[in-house]
A and B are shown apart, each in its own frame.
Chain A
Amino acid sequence: DVKVTQSSRYLVKRTGEKVFLECVQDMDHENMFWYRQDPGLGLRLIYFSYDVKMKEKGDIPEGYSVSREKKERFSLILESASTNQTSMYLCASSFLPPRSGEYTDTQYFGPGTRLTVL
């Protein structure tokens, strides 16, 4: 079974702190994603990465950065946490589509980190 793990289930930080959220997957997936989930807004894509050291902005990248130094690990960084970044953060991974042939585009999710910024 695919396993995606996140470093913390619950996290409480203070405004202005630098926050690191870690995600690790064990399926050799090329793609990794960070979403935030808020009531009434569903899932919104923050950043994704399709290879080591590669990153692409999603729909709401402001206030966040990411790091992908190893294929299995994708980190989300809040440089200076603010109260409006209080949310549930979900990491996911999937295979990268090949140039031809069939593939599975299913994303596999971690359990989430509920971050509260005071």
Chain B
Amino acid sequence: GDSVTQMEGPVTLSEEAFLTINCTYTATGYPSLFWYVQYPGEGLQLLLKATKADDKGSNKGFEATYRKETTSFHLEKGSVQVSDSAVYFCALSGGGSQGNLIFGKGTKLSVKP
């Protein structure tokens, strides 16, 4: 079945460092791909999405490109801030007709000043 694999954390970076969180997927068909972010004590918020191959999603300085040839959707940010400390989830729209999402296990990011 469809699945998402993302790099395990925790990831600890200094402020202004470059961030990459790897995400790869297996899927039949042509899913949409998502990154969600969960700040401490809160629910998940959509960070960005891409709906077809070669699309780039971007928001708040974060970017991810839908790469069909490598089945990847890596999250990047050029210069992280302390306020980016959170758990990041990669997800894809699953099979079936009900709009389910399949999530990775999450990557915890801590940014130190």
Q: Which residues of A contact B (CB under 8 A)?
A: 4, 31, 33, 40-43, 45, 48, 50, 56, 90, 92, 94-97, 105-112
Contacts and interface: CB of A to CB of B under 8 A. Distances in A.
A94 B43 contact: no
Nearest to B4: A42
B49 interface: yes
Q: For this complex, into which size category does the number of interface residues on chain B fall?
A: 20 to 34
Interface centre among A4, A105, A111 (most CB of B within 10 A): A105
Interface in B72-113: 89, 93, 97-101, 103-106
Contacts of A111: 42-43
Contacts, number: 51
A65 B104 CA distance: 25
Interface of B: 32, 34, 36, 42-46, 49, 89, 93, 97-101, 103-106
A105 B100 CA distance: 8
Nearest to B106: A42
A112 B101 contact: no
A105 B93 contact: yes
Contacts of B97: 97
A4 B89 CA distance: 19
Contact of A43 (B32, B42, B103): B103
A96 B99 contact: yes
Contacts of B101: 105, 107
